[in-house]
C-alpha cells in the first residue's frame, strides 16, 4: 500500500512540473513565432513548430496523468494507468513527424537559401535556450521514471538542442554571412531528435505489448522461487509492466503436500511475495499455490 501511495504522490508532483513547463513553453512559443516572422529564420520557425508540438504533448501528458490517477471502473480492473503509455507513444509519433518536416524544409532551403536577419534571430534563440533549460531542469527533478514524463522531457530536450543550434547558426550567419547555416541547423535538429524518438517509441511499445520489464530475468525469478523450501515446480510464469515503475508478475507454484500441511497457503504466499519484492523489486505479484496432486489436472490452454 505504501508503494501505491508513493506512486500516486510521485505522479502528483509530475503534474505540478508539467503545468509549470506548459506555461514556459507557451510563452516561448509565441516569442519564437514572432522571431521567425521578423527574421525569416527556418531554424527559429522549426523550433517554434516543435515548441507547438511540445505544448500539445505536455497537455496530452497532463491529461493522461490525470486519467491514470483515477480509479478504474468495473471493466478497467487495472485502472487507467496505460493512458500514460499511450500518451508517450503518441509523443514519439509526433516527434517523428516533426523530424520528417524539418528534414524536408532543411533540404529545400539548402537548395534555395532565403535571407535571414541573423542578429534578432540570435536574441530570440537565446531566450528560447534559457526557457528550455529551465523547463528541462524542472522535468528532470522527477523521480518516477514515468514514460509519460520521459516523453515530455525528450520534447523539451529537443527544443533545447534546437535553441542551441539556432544560436550557433545565427552567429555563423552574422559573422560569415553563410545563409545555409540556418538550413543546416534545422537538419541537425531533426538528426538529434530522431534517436530519442525511436527509443521512446520502442519503450512504449514494449509496455503495450506486455514484454517482461527490462532487467527482469524470468529464469532467475524461477530459480529463486524453486529454491524456496517445499516448492517443487514453477510454471505459467509471466511478467509485464502496467505503467512506468509498476512491474507485475504472476505464476503457478506447485508445493509439496508436507509443506502445505506444515505452513498453510497464507504463509507460503507471504514467502513468495517477499521473495519477488526483495530480490527483484516486483511488488505487484499474484501466485496460484497448487498441491502436487493438482499437476495432472491443470490445463494451461493451447499456445497460440
Answer yes or no: is 59 within a domain.
yes
Q: Is residue 222 classed exposed, middle or buried when 0-12, 13-18 and 19+ CB atoms within 10 A define those classes?
A: middle
Residues 131 and 108 in one domain: yes
Answer yes or no: is 303 within a domain.
no
Residues 136 and 284 in one domain: no
Average pLDDT, integer, range 96-123? 86
Q: For residue 7, what is the domain's CATH number?
A: 1.20.1510.10
d(CA 209, CA 203): 10
**Confidence bin at 289 (pLDDT 50/70/90):** very high
Of 154, 188, 208, which one is at a domain's C-terminal end?
208
Residues 203 and 225 in one domain: no
What domain range includes position 224?
Answer: 218-297
Residues 173 and 275 in one domain: no
Residues 234 and 126 in one domain: no
Residues 100 and 236 in one domain: no
Of 208, 227, 247, which one is at a domain's C-terminal end?
208
Residues 179 and 285 in one domain: no
Average pLDDT over the chain, rounded to whole?
82
Task: Please say whether the beta carbons of 35 and 120 come within 8 A.
Answer: yes
Answer yes or no: is 302 within a domain.
no
Task: Please say whether the beta carbons of 157 and 126 come within 8 A.
Answer: no
Answer yes or no: is 213 within a domain.
no
Lowest mean pLDDT among 36-40, 197-201, 222-226, 243-247: 243-247
Between 51 and 29, where is the model more confident?
29
The predicted pLDDT at position 94 comes to 83
Instruction: Check pLDDT > 90 for residue 59.
Output: no
pTM of the model: 0.74
Residues 189 and 228 in one domain: no
Answer yes or no: is 46 within a domain.
yes
Residues 171 and 283 in one domain: no
Q: How many domains does the chain have?
A: 2
**Confidence bin at 99 (pLDDT 50/70/90):** confident
Between 169 and 94, where is the model more confident?
169
Answer yes or no: is 144 within a domain.
yes
Q: Maximum distance among all alpha carbons in the chain? A: 86
The predicted pLDDT at position 6 comes to 47
Average pLDDT, integer, range 14-29? 83
Residues 230 and 202 in one domain: no
The predicted pLDDT at position 71 comes to 66
Residues 222 and 196 in one domain: no
d(CA 302, CA 304): 6
Lowest mean pLDDT among 53-57, 135-139, 159-163: 53-57
Of 208, 238, 255, which one is at a domain's C-terminal end?
208
Answer yes or no: is 185 within a domain.
yes
Angle of CA points 263, 266, 272, to nearest 5°: 90
Residues 151 and 246 in one domain: no
The predicted pLDDT at position 187 comes to 87
Amino acid at each position: 500500500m505504501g508503494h501505491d501511495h508513493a506512486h500516486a504522490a510521485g505522479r502528483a508532483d509530475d503534474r505540478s512540473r508539467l503545468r509549470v513547463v506548459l506555461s514556459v513553453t507557451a510563452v516561448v512559443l509565441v516569442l519564437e513565432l514572432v522571431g521567425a516572422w521578423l527574421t525569416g529564420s527556418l531554424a527559429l520557425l522549426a523550433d517554434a513548430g516543435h515548441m507547438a508540438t511540445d505544448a500539445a504533448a505536455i497537455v496530452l501528458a497532463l491529461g493522461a496523468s490525470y486519467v491514470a490517477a483515477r480509479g478504474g471502473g468495473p471493466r478497467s480492473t487495472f485502472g487507467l494507468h496505460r493512458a500514460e503509455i499511450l500518451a508517450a507513444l503518441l509523443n514519439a509519433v509526433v516527434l517523428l513527424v516533426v523530424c520528417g518536416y524539418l528534414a524536408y524544409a532543411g533540404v529545400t532551403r539548402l537548395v534555395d537559401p532565403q535571407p535571414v536577419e541573423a542578429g534578432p534571430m540570435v536574441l530570440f534563440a537565446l531566450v528560447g535556450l534559457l526557457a528550455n533549460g529551465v523547463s528541462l531542469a524542472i522535468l528532470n527533478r522527477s523521480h518516477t521514471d514515468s514514460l509519460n514524463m520521459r516523453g515530455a522531457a525528450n520534447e523539451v530536450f529537443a527544443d533545447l538542442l534546437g535553441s542551441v543550434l539556432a544560436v550557433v547558426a545565427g552567429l555563423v550567419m552574422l559573422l560569415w554571412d553563410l545563409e545555409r547555416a540556418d538550413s543546416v541547423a534545422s537538419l541537425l535538429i531533426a538528426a538529434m531528435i530522431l534517436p530519442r524518438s525511436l527509443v521512446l517509441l520502442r519503450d512504449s511499445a514494449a509496455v503495450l505489448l506486455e514484454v517482461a520489464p527490462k532487467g527482469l530475468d524470468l529464469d532467475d525469478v524461477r530459480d529463486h522461487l524453486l529454491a524456496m523450501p517445499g516448492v517443487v515446480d514453477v510454471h505459467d510464469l509471466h511478467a509485464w509492466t502496467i505503467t512506468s515503475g509498476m512491474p507485475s508478475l504472476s505464476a503457478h507454484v506447485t508445493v509439496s503436500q508436507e509443506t502445505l500441511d506444515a505452513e498453510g497457503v497464507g504463509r507460503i504466499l507471504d514467502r513468495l511475495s517477499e521473495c519477488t519484492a526483495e530480490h527483484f523489486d516486483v511488488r505487484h505479484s499474484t501466485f496460484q499455490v497448487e498441491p502436487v496432486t493438482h499437476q495432472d489436472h491443470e490445463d494451461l490452454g493451447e499456445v497460440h
